[in-house]
Structure 1
Amino acid sequence: MSGSRRGAGDDAGSGSVVAVGVCAALLSLLLVVLALVTAVVARHRAESAADLAALAGADVVVGRATGDVCARAAAVARAEGAAVVCGVDAAGVVTVTAAVRPVGLAGLLGPARATARAGQAGAQPGAQTGVEAGAQATSGEAAPAGTAIQ
């Protein structure tokens, strides 16, 4: 035999093409999973920042700390890497919304947001919001009502 097989040239290299296709699919899947993980991490960071900022603001309300409620909450949120919108109602309940922008591809979807409330035990949130009372701050600065976190 001369070593020539019928049809051997038809399939030559097809395994390499399949392997490249499988690698590309796995890489795409890995990128999607990585984007989801960074979005979840950003959400957890936003929740943590909102919780800590609300507690810091509540410390001012109950007299454990001095200064402006929303300025203190904004300073704590900034230290956690979050932008914040803060409000205090008539009952002294501090409401904080924190936003953290995820890194990478997930950042294209916008920031992860979380809201937390803190105040004295038994305090019921009043009808008057921090926006109406003029006690709103965005990252430590006064902001008009309805300002969106960027």
Structure 2
Amino acid sequence: MSGGSPSSLASDDGAGSILTVAIIGSVVALTMVVLPVYAGFAARRSVAGAADASALAAADTAVGLLPGFPCDAASTVAAANGAMITACVVDGLVVTVTASRAVLGIAVTAVATAGPVGAGVD
């Protein structure tokens, strides 16, 4: 039977196609929500690594193992890791740096402290 009879309207022909399109749409929507969150987590770890490396380089410079100024060394290392130093505090041989990078328009920051053993670094 074809045409506009009531029995053809009650048929579930094509329901699988609609369900498939709905599932694909749901997966795409979920991916669009979750992907930026994972990008933020990855950026946080990356900035934390940049802050750690920058603090270590600055502490090595403060101790005298490397020539130059501690905060300049921290800035150089942070730039090499895709971040920038927003704060650098030298307290004797202990250096605390704050590194930052913008990800998806949001500033991601991390703080790291480094210095020689026994110099008051927690």
How far apart are the structure 1 equivalents of 2:63 and 2:90? 12
Larger helix share, 1 or 2: 2
Larger strand share, 1 or 2: 2
**1:61-87 deviation per Cα after TM superposition (whole angstroms, max 9, x unaligned):** 111011111011001000100011211
How far apart are the structure 2 equivalents of 1:119 and 1:7? 81
How far apart are the structure 1 equivalents of 2:97 and 2:27? 40
Task: Could you tell me which runs of 5 or more consecutive residues in structure 1 were left unpaired when the two chains were aligned.
Answer: 126-150
Does the residue aligned with 2:120 lie in a helix, a strand or coil?
Answer: coil
Q: State the TM-score, normalizing by the size of structure 1.
A: 0.70
> Deviation of residue 16 (structure 1)?
2.7
Q: Which runs of 4+ in 1 moved over 6 A?
A: none
Partner of residue 134, structure 1: none
Partner of residue 25, structure 1: 26
Does the residue aligned with 2:116 lie in a helix, a strand or coil?
Answer: coil
How far apart are the structure 1 equivalents of 2:18 and 2:78? 50
After superposition, the CA RMSD in angstroms is 1.9
Task: Could you tell me which runs of 5 or more consecutive residues in structure 2 were left unpaired when the two chains were aligned.
Answer: none
**1:68-119 deviation per Cα after TM superposition (whole angstroms, max 9, x unaligned):** 1101100100010001121112x321001111223xxxx13x1221111001
Q: State the TM-score, normalizing by the size of structure 2.
A: 0.84
Partner of residue 7, structure 2: 7
Aligned pairs, number: 117
